[in-house]
Amino acid sequence: MSEPILETTAYLNKRIAHMPQKAVILGTGLGNLAEAIIDKEEIPYGEIPHFPVSTVEGHSGKLIVGKLGEQYILAMQGRFHYYEGYSMKEVTYPIRVMRELGIKTLFVSNASGGTNPTFRVGDLMIITDHINFFPEHPLRGKNIDYGPRFPDMTHAYDQDLIRQAKEIAEQKKIHVREGVYLGTQGPTFETPAEYRMYRILGADAVGMSTVPEVIVANHCGIKVFGISVITNIGIDSQTEEVSHLEVQEAADKAQPKMTEIIRELINRV
């Protein structure tokens, strides 16, 4: 293991009294979950040796460790996007640290543009699979022996977690979609032609995060559940101009539903 990861892990092991086995990346649409965490310790990224620091609007950077319901959880408030200029190693650094800390399951959320013609703004989409459209692969370079050189990606999103999430949504009468998330580098939103292309390629939604972290989590043997809020529509004849503010507003509206599903899922697992 690399020195920095070991130093980061040693620091966090010292600061965290009850080390959780579950982690959540509080992407767009899940910010509120942080408020439901009690008995918590907050560790700003700036205090953690070798941790990158988040810069994007609307994402503050800290680790939160505490209890969600009966369970301890490690939450990342603020993630590192490739478009911010971080390398893939930096974007996925926290996942490797999670692995060293003993995290077994990772929950991720994001915002995305819907390319599936049946989708509407505000829909939640359980991510069943992804397409990696980032220009650099997060596992490029010498293989870290957390996992094989050529990792299998057949079940990048854990089948059982997907099943349970659907069950929870049904019980709570929350309408959910399922689909393929295509991850791009951003920071531009797509042109109508690009949305069309991604649809033809098999995407139901397109966004600027998640795929690198999910690949590395799989390589590390961490199970993943992912959910996306459709904040805008990139569908032929319906594509409209989009801004970060609109994305944020649509995500805020869908937030209670998303939080409820993830909260219950975390409690069950």
Contact flag: residue 189 with ligand HPA (CB under 6 A) = yes
From 177, 186, 225, 224, select the one nearest 205 (Cα to Cα): 177
Contact flag: residue 123 with ligand HPA (CB under 6 A) = no
Task: Report the residue number, 179 or 207, with the smaller CB distance to ligand HPA.
Answer: 207
Number of residues that bind ligand HPA (CB under 6 A): 13
Task: Report the residue number, 93 or 181, with the smaller CB distance to ligand HPA.
Answer: 181
| Contacting residue, 12, 23, 234, 258, with ligand HPA by CB under 6 A | 234
Stretch that binds ligand HPA, among 33-41, 53-61, 107-115, 137-145 (CB under 6 A): 107-115
Task: Report the residue number, 158 or 190, with the smaller CB distance to ligand HPA.
Answer: 190
Stretch that binds ligand HPA, among 10-18, 110-118, 167-175, 210-218 (CB under 6 A): 110-118
Q: Contact residues for ligand HPA (CB under 6 A)?
A: 111-113, 189-190, 206-208, 231-232, 234, 242, 247
